[in-house]
Amino acid sequence: MSELRLDATQLDRYSRHVIMDEIGPEGQQRLLEGSVLVVGAGGLGSPAIQYLAAAGIGRLGIVDDDVVERSNLQRQIVHGDDDVGRPKVDSAADYVAALNPDVDVDTHETRLSADNVGELVEKYDVVLDASDNFGTRYLLNDHCVLTETPLSHGAIYRFEGQVTTFTNERDGDENPPCYRCVFPEAPEPGTVPDCATTGVLGVLPGTVGCIQATEVVKYFLEKGDLLEGRLLMYDAMGMTFDTVDVLRNSECPVCGDEPEIESVEDVAYEGSCSISAD
């Protein structure tokens, strides 16, 4: 970490962090020097972007190729009615600019693919997966495992959400699990309806996205226990939180003892996101 250089305005803005023994000015500077790539500026990405920016994460990259629709506004809270028709990355960037001038925002109006994931991820310290499709989740997982990039995963469905963290730190001894250890392959297309056909409780992604942001902040601060090796499941109807332990699968094709995936080019990120046959 470089020499402390919080100015008077920053000491005021982040005063509730600075006075905490677990954070202090040193911890706040870690946040200001950190960078996060948020993939998806929708339901999960919105609260994550809000709180990462408010916390003072110094640089945010936002990846999304969609435009704001009025039906998004029930849950995607960095966008407003005047933003309908605008690219989500632009609307989200404007929100951050108004909230915290300390934060630099890189907008990437594109769909994440095997062709661009490398050049995007390499610019950031941590990846926050706020995507809404299995192809992107597996692509991010595989690339982050191969490059040892920390990854925060979140997903929602109707009234339920899940969160976990993959630090992807490989020491050759007791390596942590990855997304494929939990979900070896995606369900067949059409078997899991999306929110456009089944609906989603509007406040649900706020809870899940905030937990993802919390995990990222803790990662930079090196404080507390991350959800690595644990899957947190939230049921909004029952108002319950449960965690289940997740173990690394020694036969996992990307993080196992004899991995089959050595590049994202080895995988067809459609359908079941399986390894290419050729």
Which are the catalytic amino acids? 195
The DSSP 8-state label assigned to residue 132 in this structure reads S
From the list 247, 234, 101, the residue with the least C-alpha distance to 163 is 234
Q: What is the dihedral of CA 268, 271, 275, 278, to 10 degrees?
A: -70
Q: In whole angstroms, what is the distance from residue 214 CA to residue 187 CA? A: 29
Vertex 63 angle, CA 243 and 82, to 5°: 105
Cα 240–chain centre separation:
22
DSSP class of 187: P
Owner of token pair 């929100």: 95
| Whole-number Å distance between alpha carbons of 14 and 28 | 7
Query: 264 to each of 151, 187, 246, how far by Cα in Å?
Result: 16, 19, 23
